[in-house]
Amino acid sequence: MMMLEGRTAVVAGGAGSIGGAICTLFAEHGAQVLVADIAGDRVQAVLDEIHAAGGRATGLVADLTTEQAMADLAEQAAALGPTDILVNCLGHYLDSVEPFEQTAEQTWQALYEINLLPVLRACHAFLPGMKAQRYGRIINFSSTEGIRASPSLAVYGAFKGAVDAFTRSLAVEAARDGVIVNSIAADKTRSYQTNFLQVPPEYEHLIPTWTPRGRFADGDDVAKIALFLASDLCDWVVGSTLLADGGTIAAGGWYRTPQRWSTQPLLHQFFEPAEANLSRPRSLQ
């Protein structure tokens, strides 16, 4: 079943582990894809994969945090015909993991310019054309860090929460014109920006503690959700944030230890003899 046959999709940040998987899956389902990212080698790798499978794709290597690059993206997309699908994957925490009082306004501005401003610019550029044709799908990427508390990531979390708030309001504005807008909040996904790709094999047994699903996600897991949101199957989901997190938000602070589910896991219990753990009070096992 080709779910995007005849559609044209623009994917901003399309060469990341999630963005690249979205591009290849969309092409597999018949879409013509414009892959836009700052990483030229990864853009080419995505294009090569799509072309090798017989799909249609073009690329744009640009810093999409700039106004000019977003204008270039809109211009290149227009040359392909009307844009039916816009995916805003661009975002980064910029290694800004520190207490809020130690952050600087320069960091706040940089986080704004990579996490929220490109979403506003892209939607502003592509929404009028979608409204004119009375069809469109917009998928914005927020994060679970914009939903739960984000200690030492307060500003990043604030902008991700803003993406969800913007998505809801824009979705209500645009739905009657046939433009469906939603967002995806991902967590525990192997990506270039997190250290989940770098977990040594000897620590793999800890992963079921961190995710109820029992594993980390790959880009393909999230791409499948984007495919639904981009397709005609998605006509009654409007202004929602779909969690692509393996259950971490639903777990709400519950973790699976070697013995039980607990809200107060002890990490060292994974590295000691089982009898030592069994000797503790039940609440600490």
Cα 88 from Cα 149, distance rounded (Å): 23
Phi, psi dihedrals of residue 152, rounded to the nearest 5°: 70, 10
Task: Work out the number of other CB atoms within 10 angstroms of the CB of residue 188.
Answer: 22
* Tokens representing residue 200 in the block: 């040594």
Q: If you search the block for the tokens 């504005």, which residue do you land on? A: 173
Domain assignment present for residue 2? The answer is no
Domains: count for the chain: 2
Q: Is the same domain home to 156 and 274? A: no
Cα 154 from Cα 148, distance rounded (Å): 10
User: Residue-wise pLDDT tens for the chain (285 aa)?
Assistant: 899 999 999 999 999 999 999 999 999 999 999 999 999 999 999 999 999 999 999 999 999 999 999 999 999 999 999 999 999 999 999 988 899 999 999 999 999 999 999 999 999 999 999 999 999 999 999 999 999 999 999 999 999 999 999 999 999 999 999 999 999 999 999 887 776 566 777 778 888 888 899 989 999 999 999 999 999 999 999 999 999 999 999 999 888 877 778 777 766 666 677 777 677 666 555
Domain assignment of residue 279, given as a range: 254-285
Q: pTM here? A: 0.91
Active-site amino acid positions: 156
Cα 198 from Cα 191, distance rounded (Å): 10
Q: Is the same domain home to 264 and 210? A: no
Domain assignment present for residue 270? The answer is yes
* Tokens representing residue 261 in the block: 């589910």
Q: Is the same domain home to 213 and 260? A: no
Domain assignment present for residue 1? The answer is no
**Residues forming beta bridges with residue 34, ordered by sequence position:** 10, 58
